[in-house]
Amino acid sequence: QTLSLIHVSPTLKMSLNICATACGMRPAASVPQTSQQPIHTKHLGSTSASARRARFVCRAAAAESVDETEQDQDEIKVVKAKRFMDAMRDNQAKKDTRNWEAMEIAAAMDPLAGGIAPELIQGRLAMLAWLGVGFAEKATGMTAAGQYAEFSTIINSLAFIISLATLMPTLVTANPLADIVASTKTGMPEAWVKINGNTEEMVGRSAMVGFAFLLLTEAALGRALFA
């Protein structure tokens, strides 16, 4: 734009326009050719050389940008892997504190204080319930509520085991459960990226909502949905 406002020879402007085009920039506005400012063929060689140099510079810059992007991705993977390893490393300073187990469990089980254990446990129970209820209804014809009334001891024991297993990483490492779960969302190995914490959270929430609808549907129908 500046070149279009000042007096520049057409030959120089043509060279600059070719370089700008090679680099992906918008060329400057063209200046009408006049008889007082002819373009001589002897300048075309230098113009072509300038264009070649401009293309070379642009390609070199693009290659350098790709290398930097790949390097950044590698660094991000290292940071994510380190985050997961740090979350699973023993927190010896916390273990030296008295009654740290009770404090960590209380923090994990309090949803008002940011505790994520209730949602995580209920999501896992709902996913397992879908599998068990479906097969049990096919085999016995009993509704989900009827199954709980009949086998409440077994179901409650299973819920306790799932709850204890969910809290076990905190009890072993003495790290907050929220940090451990966060590391599973962003720090899992590349091969497990499709089954990370985000996936479990999404499937768990869907299972809880779906199981609630299952109970309501069976209560309205008065029979097992999968029988």
- Note whether 52 and 19 are within 8 A (CB): no
Arithmetic mean of pLDDT, 52-64:
58
Tell me what pLDDT residue 88 has: 82
Percent above pLDDT 90 for the chain = 34
- The mean pLDDT of the chain is 77
* Banded model confidence at residue 34, pLDDT cuts 50, 70, 90: very low
Q: Which of 39, 227, 52, 16 is nearest to 142 (CA)?
A: 227
d(CA 214, CA 178): 30
Tell me what pLDDT residue 214 has: 94
Whether residue 158 is predicted with pLDDT greater than 90 in this model: the reply is: yes
Using a 10 angstrom Cβ sphere, with 0-12 exposed, 13-18 middle and 19 or more buried, the burial of residue 151 is middle
**Cβ-based neighbour number of residue 173 at 10 Å:** 21
- Note whether 81 and 188 are within 8 A (CB): no
- DSSP, res 151: S
Whether residue 220 is predicted with pLDDT greater than 80 in this model: the reply is: yes
Tell me what pLDDT residue 184 has: 82
* Banded model confidence at residue 44, pLDDT cuts 50, 70, 90: very low
**Cβ-based neighbour number of residue 154 at 10 Å:** 12
Whether residue 223 is predicted with pLDDT greater than 70 in this model: the reply is: yes
Using a 10 angstrom Cβ sphere, with 0-12 exposed, 13-18 middle and 19 or more buried, the burial of residue 180 is buried
Compare 36 and 219 and report the one with higher pLDDT.
219
Tell me what pLDDT residue 71 has: 62
Q: Which of 24, 116, 102, 9 is nearest to 62 (CA)?
A: 24
Tell me what pLDDT residue 30 has: 46
Tell me what pLDDT residue 33 has: 47
Tell me what pLDDT residue 69 has: 66
pTM: 0.61
Tell me what pLDDT residue 25 has: 54
d(CA 197, CA 40): 68
- Note whether 225 and 218 are within 8 A (CB): yes
Tell me what pLDDT residue 212 has: 94
* Banded model confidence at residue 24, pLDDT cuts 50, 70, 90: low
Structure token pair of residue 226? 């999968």
Least confident of 71-75, 133-137, 196-200: 71-75
Tell me what pLDDT residue 41 has: 46
- Note whether 18 and 47 are within 8 A (CB): yes
Whether residue 205 is predicted with pLDDT greater than 90 in this model: the reply is: yes
